[in-house]
Amino acid sequence: MAKPRVRQCLHCELTLTPELYNQPAPVPCPRCHTPLLARAFPATLRQLPTGSAGELLTNAELSSCFFHPNKKAEVSCAQCGRFLCALCDLEVEGKHLCPSCLETGMKKQTMATFRTGVTRWDNIAVLLTIVPLISIAGLYFTMFTSAAALFIALWKWNSPRERLVDRGRGRMIMALILALLQLGGWAALLFFYLGRRY
Amino acid sequence: MSDPVPYRKLPGRSPTFRFGLSSAPASTLWLGPDHLLQTIQTPSREEYRRYDYRDIQEVFVQVTRRRLQVNLLLAALHGIVLGTCLLANARELAIYLIWSAPFVVGYLVNTLRGPCCQGYLLTAVGVEPLSSLARLGPARRAVDQLTTEIEQAQGRLEPATLAQHWQRSH
């Protein structure tokens, strides 16, 4: 997908006029008549806010910032309690954090706000049970892939709960059932083979 | 790790069969208490992007020719399959019908789901494609719900104010 040009029709590249915006239903492009739906909001009128540099410490009796000793402390970190100037104060979910606590939080992804992604263990387990079934040669690998899927499903049973959305265990249950069926099939085959041989 | 789920899913999903016509990863959109959450899925990972309602400048959706392209691709494949049946001297009508069934289902589903579209979201720092807004019907419903949330956070922008701002900035 090509990167869209801002405020232009995607087909004829006509620059859009304000009349085409904030209409309740899609309106045709004046040149190519392709329907479009555009909504603009007051943020489009706003300039990006500039950050605060922090106030210089003029009185020796006042508390100073832990990271900038010559700047006045304005707030303390909600996590570690260090005093912070306006420059170091990072507000996340209503809490004031220092840069090091924010970095730690982002690394550990302890707060939902910091979570930028999760591994889809349930999908991996399902794929391990299904992908080998696509080809006949792959059937031989199901002995290993189903065991791996079973291991993942049990080891990462709670992993869907780490997601922000769609946190059901449906895929895990599906992977468990398929893996157990495949392993059961192999066990039955082995039992049948050994029974005939001895 | 077991945070409550404050998200509400917006209508729309990324195209199931892409036929190489789209390079954007599969994604879904969710309304949060103060931000829009975009989940981007690959087979092994799920990535999250958050857009604060106060930072969203524009939402844009436009109809594309993807529905026609998919139908033409299906027609070409259908033609190849039927041509192969003819070359193989298949005389039974049932053979043609059986081989045609998946393509007919494909045409019907693709046509009945409505026109395809492309959506994107504009913030002060960039343009983000919204690949889940792939069909016009669900995209309209999603944009309407999103507009309500954004207008609660930012207020409403009148077209006249927008026109004045654009005149000043150009």
Tens of pLDDT, residues A175-188: 999 999 999 999 99
CB atoms within 10 A of CB B161: 15
Q: Give A 121-140 residues with CB within 8 A of chain B.
A: 123-124, 127
Q: How far is CA B52 from the centre of its chain?
A: 21
pLDDT band at residue A167 using 50, 70 and 90 as cut-offs: confident
For chains A and B, count residue pairs whose Cβ atoms are closer than 8 Å. Answer: 150
Long-range contacts at A47-52 (CB < 8 A, ≥ 24 apart): A48/B124, A48/B125, A51/A87, A52/A86, A52/A87
Tens of pLDDT, residues B44-69: 899 999 999 999 999 999 999 989 99
Phi–psi pair at B48, nearest 5 degrees: -120, 140
- Distance (Å) from the alpha carbon of A62 to chain B's nearest alpha carbon: 35
Domain A55-116, what architecture? Answer: 2-Layer Sandwich (3.30)
A38 shares contact with chain B (CB less than 8 Å): yes
Most confident of A4-8, A49-53, B6-10: B6-10
Q: What is residue B74's predicted lDDT score, i.e. its pLDDT? A: 92
A118 shares contact with chain B (CB less than 8 Å): yes
User: Looking at the predicted structure, is the pLDDT value of residue B41 above 80?
Assistant: yes
Mean pLDDT of B132-148: 94
Question: Terminus-to-terminus CA distance in chain B, angstroms?
Answer: 49
Q: Is there a contact between A141 and A131 (Cβ–Cβ < 8 Å)?
A: no
Residue A74 and residue B126: Cα distance in Å, rounded? 32
Most confident of A65-69, A76-80, A152-156, B22-26: A152-156
- The partner residues of B35 in beta bridges, in order of sequence, read B52
Q: What percent of chain A lies above the pLDDT cut of 90? A: 34
Residue B152 and residue A6: Cα distance in Å, rounded? 24
Q: Would you say the ipTM is above 0.90?
A: no
Q: What is residue A60's predicted lDDT score, i.e. its pLDDT? A: 67
Per-residue exposure over A74-102, b if at least 16 CB sit within 10 Å of its own CB, e if not? bbbbeeeebbbbbbbbeeeeeebbbeebb
Q: What is residue B2's predicted lDDT score, i.e. its pLDDT? A: 47
Residues in Cβ contact with A30 at an 8 Å cutoff, skipping those fewer than 6 apart: A14, A17, A20
B64 shares contact with chain A (CB less than 8 Å): yes
Q: Domain spans of chain A?
A: 55-116, 121-197
A196 shares contact with chain B (CB less than 8 Å): no
User: Looking at the predicted structure, is the pLDDT value of residue B105 above 90?
Assistant: yes
Q: What is residue A166's predicted lDDT score, i.e. its pLDDT? A: 79
Q: What is residue A49's predicted lDDT score, i.e. its pLDDT? A: 64
B64 interaction partners in chain A (CB closer than 8 Å) = 10
Tens of pLDDT, residues A82-98: 888 888 888 887 788 88
Per the prediction, chain A carries an average pLDDT of 85
Q: What percent of chain B lies above the pLDDT cut of 90? A: 53
DSSP-assigned letter for residue A23: -
Residues in Cβ contact with B70 at an 8 Å cutoff, skipping those fewer than 6 apart: B17, B19, B21, B106, B110, B116
User: Looking at the predicted structure, is the pLDDT value of residue B87 above 90?
Assistant: no
Mean pLDDT of A142-159: 93
Per the prediction, chain B carries an average pLDDT of 86
pTM above 0.90, yes or no: no
Q: What is residue B135's predicted lDDT score, i.e. its pLDDT? A: 93
B23 shares contact with chain A (CB less than 8 Å): yes
CB atoms within 10 A of CB A148: 15
- Distance (Å) from the alpha carbon of B141 to chain A's nearest alpha carbon: 10
Q: Is there a contact between B94 and B2 (Cβ–Cβ < 8 Å)?
A: no
pLDDT band at residue A152 using 50, 70 and 90 as cut-offs: very high
Residue B30 and residue B160: Cα distance in Å, rounded? 31
Q: Is there a contact between B141 and B117 (Cβ–Cβ < 8 Å)?
A: no
pLDDT top residue among A194 and B167: A194
Q: State how far the alpha carbon of A196 is from the alpha carbons of A114, A143, B21, in Å.
A: 59, 21, 54
B63 interaction partners in chain A (CB closer than 8 Å) = 26, 34-36
Q: What is residue A48's predicted lDDT score, i.e. its pLDDT? A: 65
Q: Is there a contact between B27 and B42 (Cβ–Cβ < 8 Å)?
A: no
A120 shares contact with chain B (CB less than 8 Å): yes
A14 shares contact with chain B (CB less than 8 Å): no
CB atoms within 10 A of CB B4: 6
Residue B78 and residue A70: Cα distance in Å, rounded? 75
Tens of pLDDT, residues A96-143: 888 888 888 877 776 777 778 889 999 999 999 999 998 888 888 999
DSSP-assigned letter for residue A42: G
Q: What share of chain B is helix, strand, coil (3-state, %, to 5)?
A: 45, 25, 30
Tokens (6 digits) for B9: 């899913």
DSSP-assigned letter for residue A64: B
| B62–A37 C-beta distance less than 8 A | yes
User: Looking at the predicted structure, is the pLDDT value of residue B1 above 80?
Assistant: no
Q: What is residue B24's predicted lDDT score, i.e. its pLDDT? A: 63
Q: What is residue A5's predicted lDDT score, i.e. its pLDDT? A: 63
Mean pLDDT of A57-79: 81
DSSP-assigned letter for residue A105: H
- Distance (Å) from the alpha carbon of A56 to chain B's nearest alpha carbon: 30
